[in-house]
């Protein structure tokens, strides 16, 4: 293992904490897996373009136990209004603002583990581990499980339209940067609906790291819309893993917006287990300086009649680097599947870099599938046209690049939220150079 992995492994608690026996068994398994394999390295195929050296160089240490809360601490204002808001500080449940609609239950994970929320044990135990692939590729998940307790559980009863739930994430600076682990569990029963808006934005710029695992079970005819927006410090690290299982005629739509962060990695995986399930994975990333953003997405079509769409747009300037790897696997028996993949990128600098790789595996009949990836520069004719209409060169390029990424925010069902995110993108859009 790397020195950084060894340092984190030595900081793992010996005590398996409180809670039912199955929770302690999960934690113990996470500790054993992490100590055996450590964090991923460039030798792992899925991580060949993304190194973790910057975290070790920054001296990031594992956060263990609960940090004391400071009165008056608040998280950033949510991107849009919601009936219920949960603030997460340093990976921990800070406070809940507003009252959930009837049928929506929101609990700190620590409380839910003791109360025995229906379906929670099955969901937590379903997280894929080293048996599904290279052990170190799952290193962050093992680390998250080893420290399982901070987090939040969201349960939506059958037939309930829970509306929007805002989940704001923030970390506090300290003398030593810390790596915080947290788990989000979503359980949507038959016919339930939920819009989850995650916002990662620390008011205190720091070099902390966040390792977030989100698991969701979307039952038959249920709908989950998931927006993830992050604008962290250029020194901060954000590692997320999203695992979603979908039953018949369910819908999961993801919209990711990366406007900040020094080292960002998103692993997104949906499994369409029931016929007629739909999955949409969309994202936009804006890079400059030495920032690094890596999106790895995979959709497994297990049942027939499913639909999936992966749509990502990226702009890279300075010495920024983006990695995009998307895979669709249509398993035997998943006939009449339709799958689309699209990734387009604009380079604003000779030093910027984009590594993109769409993949398709098809083992079924009557399948409609398409994929495409492009990396290029702005259309100079379009720039000239806008300049002829009175804009200077910088304004023309900013307008074109913003419109390019706005095609993702335009997909949001709420035009108000889409407008706010579009303005945020315009405010930080990298310049050519």
Residue pLDDT, tens place only, 49-95: 999 989 988 899 999 876 666 656 678 899 999 989 999 999 999 99
pLDDT for the residue numbered 72? 60
> Does residue 391 form part of some domain?
no
pLDDT for the residue numbered 56? 87
Q: Are 162 and 130 in contact (CB under 8 A)?
A: no
Q: Are 224 and 216 in contact (CB under 8 A)?
A: yes
Structure tokens at 267: 């692993």
The stretches in the chain having pLDDT less than 70 are 1, 66-73, 130-135, 432-433
Angle, CA 256 vertex, CA 97 and CA 217 arms, to 5°:
70
Identify the DSSP state of 274.
S
Domain count, the chain: 1
> Does residue 93 form part of some domain?
yes
> Does residue 55 form part of some domain?
yes
Q: Could you tell me which residues come within 8 angstroms of residue 337 by beta carbon, excluding any fewer than 6 positions away?
A: 301, 304, 305, 306, 307, 308, 330, 364, 367, 368, 369
Distance CA 421, CA 58 (A): 30
The three-class DSSP label of residue 135 is helix
Q: Are 226 and 199 in contact (CB under 8 A)?
A: no
pLDDT for the residue numbered 224? 98
The three-class DSSP label of residue 8 is helix
* Confidence (pTM): 0.95
> Does residue 135 form part of some domain?
yes
Distance CA 164, CA 369 (A): 32
> Does residue 328 form part of some domain?
no
pLDDT for the residue numbered 431? 77
> Does residue 26 form part of some domain?
yes
Go through 400-409 and write b for each residue having 16 or more CB atoms within 10 A of its CB, e for each that does not. bbbebbbebb
> Does residue 420 form part of some domain?
no
Provide the domain limits for residue 8: 3-274
> Does residue 256 form part of some domain?
yes
Q: Which residues is 318 bridged to in the sheet?
A: none
């Amino acid at each position: 293992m790397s020195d950084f992995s060894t340092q984190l492994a030595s900081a793992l608690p010996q005590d398996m904490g409180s809670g039912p026996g199955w929770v302690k068994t999960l934690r113990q398994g996470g500790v054993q897996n992490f100590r055996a394999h450590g964090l991923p390295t460039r030798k792992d195929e899925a991580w060949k373009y993304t190194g973790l050296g910057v975290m070790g160089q920054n001296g990031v240490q594992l956060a263990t136990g609960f940090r004391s809360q400071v009165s008056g601490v608040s998280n950033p204002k949510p991107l849009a209004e919601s009936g219920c808001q949960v603030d997460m500080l340093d990976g921990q449940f800070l406070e809940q603002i507003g009252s959930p609609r009837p049928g929506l239950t929101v609990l700190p994970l620590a409380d839910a583990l003791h109360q025995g929320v229906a379906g929670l044990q099955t969901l937590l135990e379903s997280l894929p581990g080293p048996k599904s692939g290279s052990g170190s590729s799952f290193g962050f998940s093992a680390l998250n499980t080893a420290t399982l307790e901070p987090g939040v559980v969201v349960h939506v009863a059958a037939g309930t339209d829970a509306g929007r739930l805002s989940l704001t994430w923030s970390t506090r600076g300290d003398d030593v940067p810390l790596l915080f682990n947290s788990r989000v569990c979503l359980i949507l029963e038959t016919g339930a609906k939920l819009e989850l808006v995650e916002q990662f934005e620390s008011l205190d710029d720091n070099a902390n790291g966040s390792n977030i695992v989100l698991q969701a079970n979307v039952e038959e005819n249920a709908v989950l819309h998931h927006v993830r927006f992050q604008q962290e410090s250029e020194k901060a690290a954000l590692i997320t893993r999203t695992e979603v299982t979908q039953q018949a005629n369910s819908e999961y739509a993801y919209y990711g917006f990366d406007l900040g962060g020094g080292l960002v990695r998103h692993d997104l995986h949906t499994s369409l287990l029931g016929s007629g399930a739909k999955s949409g994975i969309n994202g936009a990333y804006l890079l400059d300086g030495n920032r690094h953003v890596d999106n790895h997405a995979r959709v497994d079509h297990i049942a027939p009649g499913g639909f999936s769409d992966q749509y990502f747009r990226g702009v890279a300037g300075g010495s920024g680097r983006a990695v995009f790897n998307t895979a669709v696997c249509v398993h035997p028996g998943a006939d009449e599947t339709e799958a689309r993949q699209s990734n387009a990128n604009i380079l604003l600098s000779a030093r910027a870099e984009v590594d993109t790789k769409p993949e398709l595996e098809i083992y079924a009949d009557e399948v409609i599938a398409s994929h495409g990836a492009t990396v290029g520069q702005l259309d100079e004719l379009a720039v000239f046209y806008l300049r002829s209409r009175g804009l200077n060169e910088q304004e023309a390029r900013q307008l074109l690049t913003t419109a390019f990424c706005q095609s993702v925010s335009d997909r949001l069902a709420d035009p108000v939220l889409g407008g706010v995110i579009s303005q945020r993108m315009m405010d930080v859009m990298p310049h050519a150079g």
